Chain A
Amino acid sequence: EAQVTQNPRYLITVTGKKLTVTCSQNMNHEYMSWYRQDPGLGLRQIYYSMNVEVTDKGDVPEGYKVSRKEKRNFPLILESPSPNQTSLYFCASGRQGGSYEQYFGPGTRLTVT
């Protein structure tokens, strides 16, 4: 089954404790992306990757890192999480280009205390 998976689905952590949220897709997509969703602010893009070893900032990249060492994986790294990074995070993937649809993961709900 074609899908985007994220782990963990739920995470409660403390300020400053490094964490990684994993994202994996099995559709051989070139493009992968991370979004965060907050009440009243909608979905905002954090980082994206056009292909292996190619990453770029989205609208809200501060406090986040990403890497794309393999085509199928695109982990989101929070080196020193802060309470304002409490949010619902979604990973997405798609074929290269603006005429193709994207597929989203189930989401990771992160709480930073």
Chain B
Amino acid sequence: DAKTTQPPSMDCAEGRAANLPCNHSTISGNEYVYWYRQIHSQGPQYIIHGLKNNETNEMASLIITEDRKSSTLILPHATLRDTAVYYCIVRGAWAGNMLTFGGGTRLMVKP
């Protein structure tokens, strides 16, 4: 699976959009980009995933660049409850189900 690079920490004001970047320059054509988050010591929570096209669900939007070497997770209106560690994971459909978690980005939403 491709390696990902994320900033270790970010701040965001409550009510503003949080834009979390992820670099995955070695991504292969059939590898998906997944985002999970972990609030304090709770179980990681699935947010969104995509292959090539941008994706949106009730939690967030995922923007994948045309060359697929980077992506951005967007939380449109961050709340204090969005304070968490966000993990960007790249995984191939052929790689089975294993998730390799890196260091992630610690997002702090401030009032």
Q: Do A and B truly interact?
A: yes
Binding site for B on A (CB under 8 A): 4, 31, 33, 37, 42-43, 45, 48, 50, 58, 88, 90, 92, 94, 96-107, 109
B111 at the interface (CB under 8 A from A): no
B92 at the interface (CB under 8 A from A): yes
- CB contacts under 8 Å to A, within B42-83, are 42-46, 49, 51
Shortest Cβ distance from B46 into A: residue: A101
Contact yes or no, A102 B101, CB < 8 A: no
Binding site for A on B (CB under 8 A): 32, 34, 41-46, 49, 51, 91-99, 101-104
Interface of A (DSSP majority class): strand
Contact yes or no, B32 A104, CB < 8 A: no
Shortest Cβ distance from A95 into B: residue: B97
Beyond the given A96-B97, A99-B51, please list 6 additional residue pairs across the A-B interface where CB-CB is below 8 A.
A37-B41, A43-B44, A98-B96, A104-B44, A104-B45, A107-B42
Contact yes or no, A42 B103, CB < 8 A: yes
Complexed CA–CA distance, A106 and B51 (Å): 28
Contact yes or no, B43 A33, CB < 8 A: no
Complexed CA–CA distance, A88 and B43 (Å): 10
- Which of B91, B98, B104 contacts A48 (CB under 8 A)? B98
Minimum CB–CB distance for A60 against chain B, Å: 13
Complexed CA–CA distance, A31 and B91 (Å): 15
Contact yes or no, B42 A106, CB < 8 A: yes
List residues of chain A with CB within 8 A of the CB of B104: 42
Contact yes or no, A97 B93, CB < 8 A: yes
Shortest Cβ distance from A29 into B: residue: B97
Contact yes or no, B102 A42, CB < 8 A: yes
Minimum CB–CB distance for A71 against chain B, Å: 15
Contact yes or no, A50 B96, CB < 8 A: yes
